Structures are given as structure tokens and as C-alpha cells.
């Protein structure tokens, strides 16, 4: 997520971080720069790396220049290839106030590691909030769902988490508030697991229904879709809750990401089982009803086949008719293997160095592009016709 190399665990007492003035021809991906605006975080950053404060106070002397500092987010040294960058062995130029500092100022490792982890955690939680907002928007778009009470509970869960994320800095710095929030998140996680369990059981129930009538099959597909969407989005909520717990537990010492994701992983497997049963049901029904989900057509039957018997002798395609609008897309959505795409295998952002840039009196971090938070937006699916 934050684009630096991982490091192996090794004790280190102190870290020296310098600020480098970049050459004018140094290319920086502007789309990946995120401004750090929180006054508390900026104050801690200036305390941990005084050279940044010197650059910021240099005023007109630093206009047009860009400065870089690389901070570790964990108490680990980097590999030999990045050791020079990690230790900040740079020579700053052109800032009189900064040169008075006499070069690099060695900081206590806790200050450097702490502020780096704080900044990464802030970005991490912002990404979580964005992801939750997308999930909530998707829930609101679900229409013609008879289980309105169920849908409201899902929306309420997401809202509770986003409210907790309103004051991200306080969550990381106020231990009492962090403790209460972790308790609240555990409660939310339990409620989410119950709702997800209900969705899984409902979908497995549909997979046991035998249907021989095409219209009944279409009606059932429309009934299944809201449950399938809720299943996927509830998995997303569990996913983000587990990651939020991981971020907040960082200040409590080493708590593994896999531990925080224990409940998510359990329900992910159960959701996959329900998804597999639903896929097998679709495959059986489409075969029985002679539906071609590639061409979005089905073979005519009964009276319809009788009236098209003669035309079919001339053109074989007359043996088939198109599926109702949107039906093919829904069937494909419900059977695709990657519908539950919440992989827990991406790299840990706390295992990478943090790149800080200073220019024009502002401080930026290098992160993902603002338009790419690591998750693709949910594809718009057709809504059930009013007449259905």
C-alpha cells in the first residue's frame, strides 16, 4: 500500500533520519501524494525529525524545492540495498536555517517509529472509511428487498463504524478511547457475523430448491440477488473491522494481522461454501431449463417451441429466445468464482518505509493513488423490474 521494501526483524536503538533536497529532474507521481494536515501529527513529525521543521520554517529560501525523508514504520533496519536511504545519509542544500542544525539529528527510535506508524495508520483508516462508504452505498442501492429490517441492520452497522472513524487521531493517541473503540468493534464484529450467517443460510436454502419452470427460476434469481449482495458486503464489513482492529492494536504491541482476521477468515470460508452451493444449483437449473449463459439465450419449449417449429427448420437460431433483460447478468454474477473477492494476502503497510515530502510549506506522504484504494468499485447490476 505504501510502496517500500519489507524488512527482517532486528533490534535497533536509535534511528538517524535526514532530509534530502531532491534535484529538479526527480520525478514524483503527483497522484500518490497525500497531504498531511492534522496539526497534532505535524507537530509530532517535527519533533521526531527536526530537519522537517527547519525546512518548513525556511520560508522563501525553500520555495520551488522539494525535500524527502524516509521513515521506518517498525523497529527494523532495512536491507543493504536500502540502508543508505533508511539511515537518511543525505546532504541537504540551500536552507540556511536547516544547516544550523549541524546535519542529521539522531532521534529516539520511539519518536520516529511512532510518528511513522501514526501517519500510516491515519491513511489506512481513511482507506477503510472509503471502503465502508462504498459498501453502504451499495446496500442503499438494493431495491425490491422484502427484508427491510435486515437491510437496515446492515446499514446501521456500517454507520456505527464510520462514526468511530470520525476522529482518527484521537483513536490512535487516546488509550482509553482506543480501548472503548476496540470493545465496540468486537460487538459490531459479532453482530455482523450473525447477519452474514443468516445470509449464508438463506443462500444455501435457495440452493436446495428444485425448479422446473423457467419463470419460477427467474423470480428466484431476483430473490437471491439482494441476499448475495448483502453477503458480499457483510464480508467487506468484517474485512474492514478486522483491519481497523489491527491498526488500533498496533499501539498495544505486536498483534498479528492474522489474529485480528480470525473471525473474517472463518466466515469467508462459510460464505465460499454457500457460494459454491449456489453455483452448483445454477449449473443444474440452467442445464435443466436449457439456458445458455454465454449467449444469454434459452431453448424454446412447450407451446412456444411448437409455434416456432417451422421457422426453426429454416433458421436454427429460432429454436432459441433471449433471456429477460438483466437475467443473464444476474446469473453470471451469482455463479462467478471471484464474487467474494476479499483476499487477506496483500502486504502489510506497516512493513514498509514511509516516504515524506515537503514542498511549498506543506507536508505530504507517498501512498496509493487517490482513485485506487486497493478495491475495485462494485459493478452496477440490473434492478428487478417493477412488474416482476
Cα separation, 363 vs 19, in Å, equals: 12
With 50 as the cut, is the pLDDT of residue 167 above it? yes
Cell triple for 241: 473491522
Among 17, 29, 86, 24, CA closest to 54: 17
Please state, for a pLDDT cut of 90, what percent of the chain lies above it. Answer: 35
Q: List Cα–Cα distances, 246 to 56, 100, 111, 136, 178, in angstroms.
A: 33, 41, 21, 22, 12
Task: Name which residue leads in pLDDT, 306 or 114.
Answer: 114
Number of domains present in the structure of the chain: 1
CB–CB of 115/44 below 8 Å?
A: yes
- pLDDT tens by residue, 210-234: 998 899 999 999 999 999 999 989 9
pLDDT band at 54 (very low <50, low <70, confident <90, very high): confident
- Chain mean pLDDT for the chain: 77
Cell triple for 148: 427491510
Task: Name which residue leads in pLDDT, 64 or 309.
Answer: 64
CB–CB of 100/130 below 8 Å?
A: no
With 90 as the cut, is the pLDDT of residue 24 above it? no
Among 331, 383, 378, CA closest to 134: 378
| pTM for the whole structure | 0.76
> In this structure, what is the dihedral angle of CA atoms 189, 191, 192, 195, given to the nearest 10 degrees?
160
Cα separation, 57 vs 95, in Å, equals: 10
Cell triple for 18: 535526514
Residue 363 maps to a domain: no
Residue 217 maps to a domain: yes
State residue 312's pLDDT score.
52
The angle formed by the CA atoms of residues 67, 72 and 76, to the nearest 5 degrees, is 150
Cell triple for 231: 453477503
Task: Name which residue leads in pLDDT, 79 or 62.
Answer: 62
Element of type H or E holding 34: strand 33-35
Domain housing 340: 127-346
Residue 68 maps to a domain: no
Residue 139 maps to a domain: yes
Cell triple for 357: 515530502
pLDDT band at 252 (very low <50, low <70, confident <90, very high): low
Q: What is the mean pLDDT of residues 369-386?
A: 49
**DSSP notation for 262-287:** HHHHHHHHHHHHHHHHHHHHHHHHHH
**N-to-C CA span, the chain:** 44
State residue 7's pLDDT score.
45
Residue 190 maps to a domain: yes
pLDDT band at 102 (very low <50, low <70, confident <90, very high): very low
Among 70, 69, 61, CA closest to 93: 61
Please state, for a pLDDT cut of 70, what percent of the chain lies above it. Answer: 70
Residue 143 maps to a domain: yes
Residue 53 maps to a domain: no
DSSP lists the bridge partners of residue 67 as: 21, 358
Residue 253 maps to a domain: yes
Amino acid at each position: 500500500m505504501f510502496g517500500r521494501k519489507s524488512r527482517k526483524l532486528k533490534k535497533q536503538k536509535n534511528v538517524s533520519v535526514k532530509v534530502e533536497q531532491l534535484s529538479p529532474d526527480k520525478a514524483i507521481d503527483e497522484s500518490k501524494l497525500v497531504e498531511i494536515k492534522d496539526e497534532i501529527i505535524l507537530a509530532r513529525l517535527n519533533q521526531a525529525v527536526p530537519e522537517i521543521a527547519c525546512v518548513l520554517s525556511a520560508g522563501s529560501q525553500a520555495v520551488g524545492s522539494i525535500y524527502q525523508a524516509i521513515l521506518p514504520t517498525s523497529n527494523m533496519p532495512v536491507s543493504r540495498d536500502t540502508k543508505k536511504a533508511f539511515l537518511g545519509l543525505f546532504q541537504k542544500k540551500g536552507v540556511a536555517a536547516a544547516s544550523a542544525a549541524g546535519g542529521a539529528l539522531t532521534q529516539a527510535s520511539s519518536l520516529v517509529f511512532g510518528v511513522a506508524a501514526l501517519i500510516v495508520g491515519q491513511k489506512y483508516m481513511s482507506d477503510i472509511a472509503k471502503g465502508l462508504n462504498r459498501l453502504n452505498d451499495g446496500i442503499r442501492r438494493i431495491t425490491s428487498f422484502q427484508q427491510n429490517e435486515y437491510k437496515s441492520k446492515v446499514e446501521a452497522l456500517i454507520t456505527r463504524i464510520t462514526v468511530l472513524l470520525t476522529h482518527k487521531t484521537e483513536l490512535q493517541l487516546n488509550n482509553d478511547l482506543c480501548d472503548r473503540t476496540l470493545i465496540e468493534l468486537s460487538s459490531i464484529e459479532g453482530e455482523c457475523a450473525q447477519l452474514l450467517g443468516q445470509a449464508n443460510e438463506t443462500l444455501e436454502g435457495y440452493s436446495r430448491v428444485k425448479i422446473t419452470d423457467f419463470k419460477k427460476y427467474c423470480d428466484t434469481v431476483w430473490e437471491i440477488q439482494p441476499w448475495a449482495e448483502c453477503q458480499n458486503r457483510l464480508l467487506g464489513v468484517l474485512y474492514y473491522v478486522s483491519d481497523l482492529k489491527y491498526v488500533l492494536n498496533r499501539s498495544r504491541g505486536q498483534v498479528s494481522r492474522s489474529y485480528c482476521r480470525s473471525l473474517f477468515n472463518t466466515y469467508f470460508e462459510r460464505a465460499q461454501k454457500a457460494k459454491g452451493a449456489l453455483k452448483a444449483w445454477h449449473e443444474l437449473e440452467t442445464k435443466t431449463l436449457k439456458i445458455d449463459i454465454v449467449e444469454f439465450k434459452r431453448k424454446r419449449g412447450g407451446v412456444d417451441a411448437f409455434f416456432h417449429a417451422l421457422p426453426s427448420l429454416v433458421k436454427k437460431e429460432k429454436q432459441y429466445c433471449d433471456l429477460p433483460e438483466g437475467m443473464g447478468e444476474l446469473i453470471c454474477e451469482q455463479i462467478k468464482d471471484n464474487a467474494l473477492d476479499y483476499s487477506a494476502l496483500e502486504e502489510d503497510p506497516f512493513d514498509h518505509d514511509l516516504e515524506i515530502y515537503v514542498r511549498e510549506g506543506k507536508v505530504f506522504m507517498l501512498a496509493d493513488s487517490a482513485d485506487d484504494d486497493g478495491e475495485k468499485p462494485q459493478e452496477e447490476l440490473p434492478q428487478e423490474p417493477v412488474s416482476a
